């Protein structure tokens, strides 16, 4: 599997990643690190307490990481969550809706990680 094929499997935007990271070697390096990034765990840990600062910080970081990697669907979901908890913004979602959005992000993240693992296995 090529890096471009990986992006098709996980629903990412390869061209976006290439614009930011400029070469397949860097995309490969950083996409492999996604599952090791603690920001996803931080968001999941904050889901139950709905700590607004923790949720904002984690979801905002996820948005940036995923945008740079061309993982546009993950970035979009993380952005929705971050904007819900941005200082000065009025909440529009109920607590249950926020938790559902985080669950949706978690499911998409897990599918992406599975695709990345398949990609890694194909490289050996």
**3-state SS of the chain?**
CCHHHHHHHHCCCHHHHHHHHCCHHHHHHHHHCHHHCCHHHHHHHHHHHCCHHHHHHHHHHHHHHHHHCCCHHHHHHHHHHHHHCCCCCCCCCCHHHHHHHHHHHHHHHHHHHHHHHHHHHHCC
pTM of the model: 0.93
% of the chain beyond a pLDDT of 70 = 100
Residue 72 pLDDT more than 80?
A: yes
The CATH T-level fold of domain 3-122 is 1.20.120
pLDDT for the residue numbered 124: 77
pLDDT digits (tens, 9 = 90+) for 5-31: 999 999 999 999 999 999 999 999 999
Question: In the chain, what are the domain boundaries?
Answer: 3-122
């Amino acid at each position: 599997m090529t890096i471009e094929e990986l992006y098709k499997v996980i629903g990412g935007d390869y061209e976006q990643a290439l614009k930011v990271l400029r070469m397949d070697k860097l995309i490969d390096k950083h996409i492999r690190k996604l599952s090791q990034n603690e920001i996803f765990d931080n968001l999941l840990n904050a889901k139950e307490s709905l700590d607004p600062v923790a949720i904002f910080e984690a979801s905002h970081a996820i948005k940036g990481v995923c945008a740079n990697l061309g993982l546009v669907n993950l970035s979009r979901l993380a952005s929705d969550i971050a904007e819900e908890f941005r200082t000065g913004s009025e909440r529009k979602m109920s607590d249950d809706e926020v938790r559902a959005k985080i669950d949706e992000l978690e499911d998409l993240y897990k599918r992406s990680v599975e695709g990345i693992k398949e990609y890694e296995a194909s490289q050996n």
